[in-house]
Amino acid sequence: MPRVRAGFTPAAVAAIAAITTVALSGCGVGGTSSDAAKQSVAADAPLKGTITFQTWSLKNDKFTPYFTGLVQDFETRHPGTTINWIDQPGDGYTDKVTSQVTSGSLPDVVNLPPDIAHSVAKVGGLLDLTKNVPTLAQDYVHSGVAAYGYADLGADSYGLPWYLGTDISLWNKAMLQRDGLDPAHLPKTFDDLLAQAKVMHDRSGGKDYLMSRPPGLSDIVNSGTALMTSDGKKFAFNTPGAAAMLDKYTAAYAAGYLPSDVLTSTYEGNSALFNKQEVAWTTGGGNYIQSTQQTNPSLTPLIVPSPALDTAPLYVQGVSVAAKSKNLPLALAFAEFVTDDTNQVNFVKLAPGYLPGSAASANNPAYSKSDGTAQGDASVFAYQDMQKAVNFTPPVWTDAMNTVLNQQIALAMTGKESAKQALDNAVNRADQLLDQ
Amino acid sequence: MTTVSEHRAEAGPSAPPRGRSGRGRSGRGRRRSPVFDAVTPLGLAARYLTLLVILAITVGPMLWEFSTSLKSAYEDVYTATPRLLPQHPTFGNYGHVARLIPVGHFALNSVIVAVLDVAGNVLGATAAGYALARLPFRGRRLLLGLFLSTLVLPGEVTIISQYQTVTRLGFGDSLLGVALPAMIGALNVLLMRNAFRSIPAELEEAAVIDGATVWQRLRHIALPGVKGTLSVIVILTFIGAWDDFLWPLLVLQSPDKLTLTVGLSYLQGALVADPRAIAAGAMIALLPVLVLFVTLQRFFFRGVGEGAVKG
């Protein structure tokens, strides 16, 4: 899985609260911090000096040569400049960025996912890129730019889309065939999935599972329900459509089509169960087959990819510029260099299943041609999914809200509440959390 | 002698029933009353079974990690029935880790931090614990209450303000900055206080009459009695410093100053992650803790019970 969505640990929540506090107390000292975010950087300023460029979890055998080459290339084109590339480990990135923001040591150019970028932009830590990159709308993928624009901060965007990911479906061919299902006719919709899950359950005597995931926000979106009211001030996903979807899950769960522990804390996640060959379907990033080759080589030849059922989610990684950088012209120039078309294309060559965030290449038909391998097919499906993928999680959706939703869904699926009641409760509680 | 033989006669199965007509049973000897704590074969089996279950729960994951670290790239890591013995055992994963990150250098950094923390706690907690236990001074109870109250605050809440304090002191991006906040643990001070209090006061009073100073009393009377608690503190502090991830991640910036736990997390990349290399890294990180525990375990088990019974 790409590290695209950071989990909010208690530490992270406290950390985000801390950023806000520091920003508020900072207002009294100098000009308001949003001035720094809104400033314009002179486009013709000479490029010289030193900046730091921070990536997230990309320092390893595979990507290190790419970044060393990238930095050298830039330094040769602009003599007199030095780029220090640093990389932060995957875990604890929210906390690390928070500490960098509070101590004023946020690197000049920094790779941030949209949720962390939001909390940094909220305290004025990021440069407004809509204002400073005139070609933002033409040069970058629209959905990516939109992911870095936040309703509470105005329409402007705070990140240059870098690499984009989505989910595809992955199936275990051997298990499907064992239970009399045809890998050439994979489910295309949720209802197909339910029908085939029944076949698999009945043929295997309840031993094999096709479905192994409790419903979540994505299922609600796929049921044709808008998550929020059009003004974005209230949640509104307690619709009959969503309730009908939840009822289908409840029936499937009662019939034993899902492992009984999907609602408990011992649930390992659908991809873990897929790797153990206990379930025959999972969703995963476009590079799932490649990463399975590293963990479970004997499973790889059995995997058949297919496009995501219904709407695919969009995961974005972007590059932002620190508003308090001491060398803004150089920082901005380097951020644009990293995300320019050529460099993005070269980056994605190392990350099959992902797509560049630069508009010129994102729609390149070359990505829709498979090399004939399963991983090649998977990359093509990821490319196709990406065309209609949306980042449907509202930026205001918190971990606490997700917990409430999961609890209510569990109550509904075990028959302790009606689906309608569960969704009503979840909406009410989420609205309360939103107002806090 | 007579009593003994009488007892034997009583206990022996062939002994005739004695004069207690009412309670004698069917010609056999009086049934043995159940002895407290007696071990029946069934009970013994149940005990060992329970112990084995607990052993499997605690050691199992570690064994699995160890076997994963020895597995070759052709074997599956996640399977429905975990296979403990690798089919093609290899040490290649350890070499892979060493090639990816400077393990030795990171381990040295971790050792420096751990040694600073251990030294700080041994000296500081001993001094503070002794003062709170034995030296009468104004505000002693208030001080004790303050120590206790710091235990209530969860670390997550204070970590950012702690970070700001350390960077303003000029210790940002230094190993001293990583070690500093843990150099005296409030819990350790309380542990030492209780350990000192469990030494009979009379011993010290006798030493006072003999003219011993505070330092002499601490060195010759009190310290020999708390070795166990001290070794507990050494081990727990060492493990705490060795395993900490978030705090060193926040404080350290330069790649050459990282501690081992932070350094090892580079093995888990965003788009590439080899579970075998991660397991090998975890095994490397485990070694020093095991060595320390084996060295100190003689004292450790004495220390666990030391403060429990009041003298």
Q: Which residues of A touch B275 (CB under 8 A)?
A: 294-295
DSSP 3-state of B165:
helix
What are the φ/ψ torsions at residue A388 (nearest 5 degrees)?
Answer: -120, 10
Checking B173-176 for CB contacts under 8 A at 24+ apart, the result is B173/B251, B173/B252, B173/B253, B173/B254, B173/B257, B174/B251, B174/B257, B175/B109, B175/B112, B175/B113, B175/B116, B175/B257, B175/B259, B176/B116
Side chain identity at A174, as an amino acid letter? Answer: A
For the entire predicted model, the pTM comes to: 0.78
End-to-end CA distance of chain A: 32
Contact B164 A103 (CB under 8 A): yes
What are the φ/ψ torsions at residue A257 (nearest 5 degrees)?
Answer: -80, -15
Residue of A53, A57, A60, A98 to mutate, interface with B, max B Cβ within 10 Å: A60
Q: Where in chain A is the domain with CATH 3.40.190.10?
A: 33-163+316-370, 166-312+393-435
Provide the greatest CA pair distance for chain B.
91
CA–CA distance, A163 with B127 (Å, rounded to integer):
56
Structural element, H or E, at residue B43: helix B41-70
CA distance B121 to chain A (A): 25
CA distance A329 to chain B (A): 24
Q: What is the dihedral of CA A294, A300, A305, A308, to 10 degrees?
A: -50
Nearest CB neighbour to B76, from listed A2, A10, A296:
A296
Q: 3-class secondary structure for chain A?
A: CCCCCCCCCHHHHHHHHHHHHHHHHHCCCCCCHHHHHHCCCCCCCCCCEEEEEEEECCCCCCCHHHHHHHHHHHHHHCCCEEEEEEEECCCCHHHHHHHHHHCCCCCCEEEECHHHHHHHHHCCCECCHHHHCCCHHHHECHHHHHHCECCECECCECCEEEEEEEEEEEEEHHHHHHCCCCCCCCCCCHHHHHHHHHHHHHHCCCCCECCCCCCCHHHHHHCCCCCECCCCCCECCCCHHHHHHHHHHHHHHHCCCCCHHHHCCCCCCHHHHHHCCCECEEEEECCHHHHHHHHCCCCHHHEEEECCCCCCEEEEEEEEEECCCCCHHHHHHHHHHHCCHHHHHHHHHHCCCCEECEHHHHCCHHHHCCCCCHHHHHHHHHHHHHHHCECCCCCCCCHHHHHHHHHHHHHHHCCCCCHHHHHHHHHHHHHHHHHC
pLDDT confidence of residue B31: 59
Residue of B161, B260, B262, B271 to mutate, interface with A, max A Cβ within 10 Å: B271
- Those residues of chain B whose CB sits closer than 8 Å to some CB in chain A are 73-80, 100, 154, 156-157, 159-161, 163-164, 167, 172, 245-246, 249-250, 253, 255, 262, 265-275
Structural element, H or E, at residue B85: none
pLDDT confidence of residue A5: 36
Q: What is the CATH number of domain A33-163+316-370?
A: 3.40.190.10
User: What letter does residue B29 receive in the DSSP assignment?
Assistant: P
- What are the residue ranges in chain A where pLDDT is below 70? 1-34
DSSP E strand stretches across chain B: none
Contact A98 B249 (CB under 8 A): no
Q: Report the chain A residue with the minimal C-alpha distance to residue B254.
A: A86
Nearest CB neighbour to A276, from listed B79, B154, B275:
B79
Q: Report the chain A residue with the minimal C-alpha distance to residue B156.
A: A11
Summarised one tens digit per residue, pLDDT across range B79-90 is 777 777 888 888
Contact A2 B253 (CB under 8 A): no
**Residue A321, burial from CB neighbour count under 10 angstroms (0-12, 13-18, 19+):** buried
Any idea which residue has 């007892």 for tokens? B7
Q: Are strands A160-172 and A109-112 parallel, antiparallel or unpaired?
A: unpaired
CA–CA distance, B118 with B242 (Å, rounded to integer):
11
Residue of A103, A106, A282, A355 to mutate, interface with B, max B Cβ within 10 Å: A103
CA–CA distance, B102 with B259 (Å, rounded to integer):
11
Q: Report the chain B residue with the minimal C-alpha distance to residue A98.
A: B160
Contact B250 A99 (CB under 8 A): yes
Nearest CB neighbour to A56, from listed B79, B167, B270:
B270
Any idea which residue has 């058949």 for tokens? A304
Chain pair A-B, CB pairs under 8 angstroms:
116
**Residue A172, burial from CB neighbour count under 10 angstroms (0-12, 13-18, 19+):** buried
CA–CA distance, A97 with A110 (Å, rounded to integer):
9
Q: Which residues of B touch A208 (CB under 8 A)?
A: none
Q: What is the CATH number of domain B101-306?
A: 1.10.3720.10
CA–CA distance, A24 with A33 (Å, rounded to integer):
9
Nearest CB neighbour to B246, from listed A61, A95, A297:
A95
| Residue from A318, A325, A406 nearest A358 by CA | A318
Q: Which residues of B touch A63 (CB under 8 A)?
A: 269, 271-272
Checking A296-299 for CB contacts under 8 A at 24+ apart, the result is A296/B76, A296/B77, A296/B78, A296/B79, A297/B73, A297/B74, A297/B75, A297/B76, A298/B75, A298/B76, A299/A172, A299/A275, A299/B76
- Domains in chain B: boundaries: 41-90, 101-306
pLDDT confidence of residue A6: 36
Contact B265 A95 (CB under 8 A): no
Summarised one tens digit per residue, pLDDT across range B159-191 is 888 898 999 999 988 999 999 999 998 899 999
Contact A99 B76 (CB under 8 A): no
Contact A62 B272 (CB under 8 A): yes
Q: Report the chain A residue with the minimal C-alpha distance to residue B269.
A: A57
With b meaning 16 or more CB within 10 Å and e meaning fewer, what string describes A200-235? bbeebeeebbbbbbbbebbbbbbbebebbeeeeeeb
Q: Report the chain A residue with the minimal C-alpha distance to residue B155.
A: A11
- Cα B67 to Cα A194, B260, B274, distances in angstroms: 38, 21, 14
- Cα A408 to Cα A263, A396, A415, A431, distances in angstroms: 11, 19, 11, 15
Its CATH class, for the domain covering A166-312+393-435, is alpha beta
Contact A295 B78 (CB under 8 A): yes
CA–CA distance, A353 with A367 (Å, rounded to integer):
9
> A209 pairs with which residues across the strands?
A279
- What are the residue ranges in chain B where pLDDT is below 70? 1-37, 302-311
Q: Which residues of B touch A354 (CB under 8 A)?
A: 271
Q: Which residues of B touch A62 (CB under 8 A)?
A: 269, 271-272
Q: Which residues of B touch A2 (CB under 8 A)?
A: 270-271
Contact A15 B159 (CB under 8 A): yes
Contact B268 A91 (CB under 8 A): yes
CA distance A165 to chain B (A): 11
Q: Report the chain B residue with the minimal C-alpha distance to residue A275.
A: B78
Contact B100 A61 (CB under 8 A): yes
As a whole number of Å, the CA-based R_g of chain B is 29
Nearest CB neighbour to A89, from listed B100, B253, B265:
B265
Structural element, H or E, at residue B63: helix B41-70
CA–CA distance, B124 with B122 (Å, rounded to integer):
6
The residue count for chain B: 311
Residue of A95, A175, A300, A350 to mutate, interface with B, max B Cβ within 10 Å: A95
Contact B76 A92 (CB under 8 A): no
CA distance A44 to chain B (A): 32
CA distance A434 to chain B (A): 22
Any idea which residue has 């320019």 for tokens? A340
Residue of A88, A94, A99, A379 to mutate, interface with B, max B Cβ within 10 Å: A99
> A356 pairs with which residues across the strands?
A163
Nearest CB neighbour to A103, from listed B156, B167, B268:
B167
Residue A128 in tokens: 């407004």
CA–CA distance, B182 with B248 (Å, rounded to integer):
12
Nearest CB neighbour to B164, from listed A92, A95, A102:
A102
Q: Report the chain B residue with the minimal C-alpha distance to residue A56.
A: B270
Contact A96 B266 (CB under 8 A): no
Contact B100 A295 (CB under 8 A): no
Q: Which residues of A touch B266 (CB under 8 A)?
A: 57, 59-60, 87, 89
| Residue from A150, A157, A116, A153 nearest A133 by CA | A157
CA–CA distance, B46 with B40 (Å, rounded to integer):
10
Q: Which residues contact A109 (CB under 8 A, 6 or more apart)?
A: A51, A52, A53, A54, A319, A320, A321, A322, A325, A331, A334, A335, A338
